[in-house]
Amino acid sequence: MTSISHTKRMDYLGTVRGRLGWLATPTLLLFGTGGLAYGGVSSQTSITQVNNDYLFFAPGSSLNPLGFSSGSYSDTRVGWTAGAGAEWMFMPNWSAKLEYLYYDLGSVSYALGALVTTASYSSGAFAVITPQVSTHFNGHIVRAGLNYHFNWGAPAPIVAKY
């Protein structure tokens, strides 16, 4: 019997993106976005193997009953992101935004420790297996937001004119 446990997680995700849009109405912007994505990722895998095949070996043989192997990966990965969205200016200086992003930080592979099976009988047979794990770090994000536009570059209002 073999039991495998695998977990992967992302501790943080950041993006540096550009945005290109089309003004569908004077208050509605439809846009596409894309650029660099980066994130702190980790993955852990463990394998527990219980050997109950001793009945198939010759009398007087012994098979080690338990094998265990584990491995992990942790790093900051860099990849890409792309998405689309809409931003609606519902009041002067206020807008609401809805956007979708797909990110891909690539695949990683890492080796686990060796699983060793030994049997003591006339030939002294044994087997060594070194498991390899591959995992992919990607995902989907949907965000909604409320924005205030400061318009610092706009000309000041005229208060009095002479």
- Model confidence, pTM: 0.76
Tokens matching residue 4: 């495998």
Q: What pLDDT score does 151 carry?
A: 79
CATH fold for the domain made of 2-53+66-110+134-148: Porin (2.40.160)
Q: What pLDDT score does 95 carry?
A: 96
Judge contact between 132 and 115, C-beta under 8 A.
Answer: no
More confident residue, 148 or 153: 148
pLDDT-based confidence at 50, cuts 50/70/90?
Answer: confident
Separation of alpha carbons 106 and 114, rounded Å: 26
Q: What pLDDT score does 61 carry?
A: 54
Separation of alpha carbons 3 and 110, rounded Å: 19
pLDDT above 70: residue 56: no
Please give the average per-residue pLDDT across 74-102, as a whole number: 96
Neighbours of 39 (CB within 10 A): 19
Report the SS3 class of residue 92: coil
The three-state DSSP-derived secondary structure of 12-70 is EEEEEEEEEEEEEECCEEEEEEEEEEEEEEEEEEEEEEECCHHHHCCCCCEECCEEEEE
* Phi, psi dihedrals of residue 121, rounded to the nearest 5°: -150, -165
The three-state DSSP-derived secondary structure of 120-156 is ECCCCCEEEECCEEEEEEEEEEEEEEEEECCCCCCCC
Could you tell me how far CA 60 lies from the centroid of its own chain? 50
Q: What pLDDT score does 139 carry?
A: 96
